[in-house]
Structure 1
Amino acid sequence: MPPIMGAAAFIMAEFLGVPYIEIAKAAIFPALFYYFALFMAVDFRAAKIGLRGLSRDRLPNLLNTLKTGWILLAPIFALIYLLVQGYSPQKSVVLSIVVLII
């Protein structure tokens, strides 16, 4: 979710006593729409000022990037997994930080 929307979702979950994952499920389409609109705005602006992406031969190899950087995704996957399993947002964040440190 976008940053402000994510913060509001945590506050709503706390005030309403609804599990965070339920609020996140309800917010998935607005969040996807937000990121799509953001992508399009950046893409249109880049096209307007003539920015171009890297050529295919200069792009980093996806497999090599994942081999060296997969560890950075572990805390994100841990956070999502813990929230889906029903852990509180606070406990999920603390355990995700532990995964990051390890």
Structure 2
Amino acid sequence: PQDQDALPQGVRAVVSRMLGFADDECRVLSSSSGSVDVTPDGLPVIGPSPTVRNVWYNFGHGDLEFSLAGASSRLVRELVGGERPFLPVEPYSADRWMKA
């Protein structure tokens, strides 16, 4: 960003530390922020919609979204393809709150 004051404090701290390692000027070229989706029980929702045909969910991973992307995508692929999932999917079902 053009305005370095707009950067979060943590980003400014990292940039200032990096200046000690760089021979040239170190600057942030771009930054972004957004919301993190988290479910009430902390588990992602993975699997078919309980109410809409041919809609599949894969969300609610919280801070682990990038870490869990491969495994979650594999589950969706296996479910959509009619394969046996490599791990139990019941804990991640979209209708788990409806069952309570």
TM-score, L = length of structure 1: 0.24
More helix by share: 1
TM-score (norm 2): 0.24
Higher relative strand content: 2
